């Protein structure tokens, strides 16, 4: 079985955009808020340290003062309305948390904005047009927990006893195919990104041991570009920053040596989540 080419992956993430001089600019401008989160979290999981000042400045520049639906833009010069506003809020907060800089946020403003999107039935809208789904609820709860209060944390973890863990665990572990990789639905090809979605879910319901970890490990490692770094969705495909993150996060669940532990509910390194928790 091959080994994790951690140094190569760090190099790959840092060199994604070579037109800029500084590492931080490169990571931010090319990848935008969501990519910044994936890339920077991966670097952290691999134990690499980047200078946070420029990143924090850029993240805060992406805040939009006047129009709530673009509360967090994808880039500081992006005026377009963003339908994924909730996702961006969460990811921007995740990046700030990663660098221990949650103090730069106007907590009241963010809290009011998020709370204002809650509907009477308790569900949350993803934007001002009122799109509702469970994904946005999860994102809201994550955002609220990480930053603001323990109530949302209770909502996240407290809901787990409503889940039929055996039934869900069975369906999730059925996602492992012969090659060891995990797919998203029956009859679909395996994809490294499901290492995260499936394994984090299995971990949260204490059923991660129902899949063959050894086979999954082999699959993830086989998706590496050993020459130029990065991880792809499947062996021999083109690498990208997202699958590099998902692959490394998957290896974190598999307790691969040298990869920091990741929190399955909050998609941040465990030490970062602990820091937020203890601070509150
Ligand atoms: Zn994928």
pLDDT band at 247 (very low <50, low <70, confident <90, very high): very high
Give me ligand 1 centre to Cα 191, in Å: 5
Q: Could you tell me if 182 and 196 are in contact, meaning their C-beta atoms sit under 8 angstroms apart?
A: no
Give me ligand 1 centre to Cα 195, in Å: 9
Give me ligand 1 centre to Cα 242, in Å: 8
> Which pLDDT score, from 0 to 100, does residue 144 have?
33
Give me ligand 1 centre to Cα 280, in Å: 35
> Which pLDDT score, from 0 to 100, does residue 117 have?
65
When pLDDT is averaged across residues 246-255 and rounded to a whole number, the result is 94
How long is the chain? 280
List alpha helices for 148-236, DSSP H. Answer: 150-158, 165-173, 193-204, 213-222
Half-sphere exposure of 221 (CA within 13 A, CB side): 16
> Which pLDDT score, from 0 to 100, does residue 213 have?
94
Stretch among 60-69, 183-192, 224-233 having the lowest mean pLDDT: 60-69
Give percent of the chain with pLDDT exceeding 70: 63
Please give the structure tokens belonging to residue 194: 């499901």
When pLDDT is averaged across residues 50-58 and rounded to a whole number, the result is 78
> What letter would DSSP give residue 231?
B
Prediction pTM value: 0.76
**Nearest-angstrom CA–CA distance, 78 and 88:** 13
Q: Could you tell me if 260 and 43 are in contact, meaning their C-beta atoms sit under 8 angstroms apart?
A: no
- Rounded to 10°, the helix 23-45/241-253 angle is 20
Residue 148 to residues 37, 112, 256, 267, Cα–Cα distance (Å):
20, 11, 32, 17
When pLDDT is averaged across residues 240-258 and rounded to a whole number, the result is 93
Give me ligand 1 centre to Cα 22, in Å: 29
Asked whether the predicted pLDDT for residue 269 surpasses 70, the reply is: yes
> What letter would DSSP give residue 102?
G
Give me ligand 1 centre to Cα 42, in Å: 16
Each residue's pLDDT tens digit, 79-90: 434 445 556 666
Give me ligand 1 centre to Cα 184, in Å: 9
Give me ligand 1 centre to Cα 241, in Å: 11
Give me ligand 1 centre to Cα 277, in Å: 31
Give me ligand 1 centre to Cα 197, in Å: 10
Kindly report the backbone phi and psi dihedral angles of residue 98, in degrees, each rounded to the nearest multiple of 5, phi listed first. Answer: -55, -35
Each residue's pLDDT tens digit, 97-120: 888 887 877 777 777 766 666 667
Kindly report the backbone phi and psi dihedral angles of residue 191, in degrees, each rounded to the nearest multiple of 5, phi listed first. Answer: -150, 135
Each residue's pLDDT tens digit, 125-148: 555 445 555 555 555 444 433 622
Give me ligand 1 centre to Cα 110, in Å: 31
Which is it for the CA torsion 115, 62, 84, 127, positive or negative?
A: positive
């Amino acid at each position: 079985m091959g080994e994790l080419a951690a140094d190569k992956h760090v190099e790959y993430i840092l060199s994604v955009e070579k037109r800029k001089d500084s590492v931080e600019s490169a990571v931010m401008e090319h990848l935008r808020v969501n990519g910044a989160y994936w890339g920077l979290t991966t670097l952290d999981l691999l134990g690499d340290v980047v200078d946070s000042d420029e990143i924090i400045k850029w993240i805060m520049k992406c805040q939009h003062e006047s129009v709530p639906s673009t509360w967090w833009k994808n880039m500081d010069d992006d005026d377009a309305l963003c339908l994924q506003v909730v996702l961006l809020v969460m990811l921007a907060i995740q990046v700030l948390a990663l660098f221990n800089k949650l103090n730069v946020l106007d907590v009241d403003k963010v809290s009011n904005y998020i709370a204002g999107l809650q509907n009477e039935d308790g569900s949350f809208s993803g934007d001002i047009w009122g799109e509702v789904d469970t994904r946005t609820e999860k994102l809201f709860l994550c955002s609220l927990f990480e930053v603001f209060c323990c109530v949302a944390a209770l909502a996240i973890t407290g809901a787990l006893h409503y889940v039929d863990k055996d039934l869900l665990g069975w369906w999730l572990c059925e996602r492992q195919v012969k090659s060891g990789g995990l797919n998203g639905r029956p009859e679909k090809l395996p994809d490294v990104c499901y290492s995260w979605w499936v394994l984090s879910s299995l971990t949260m319901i204490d059923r991660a041991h129902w899949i063959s970890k050894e086979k999954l490990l082999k699959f993830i490692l086989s998706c590496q570009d050993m020459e130029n770094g990065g991880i792809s969705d499947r062996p021999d495909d083109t690498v990208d920053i997202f699958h590099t993150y998902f692959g490394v996060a998957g290896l974190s669940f598999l307790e691969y040596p040298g990869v920091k532990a990741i929190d399955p509910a909050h998609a941040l390194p465990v030490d970062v989540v602990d820091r937020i928790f203890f601070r509150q």
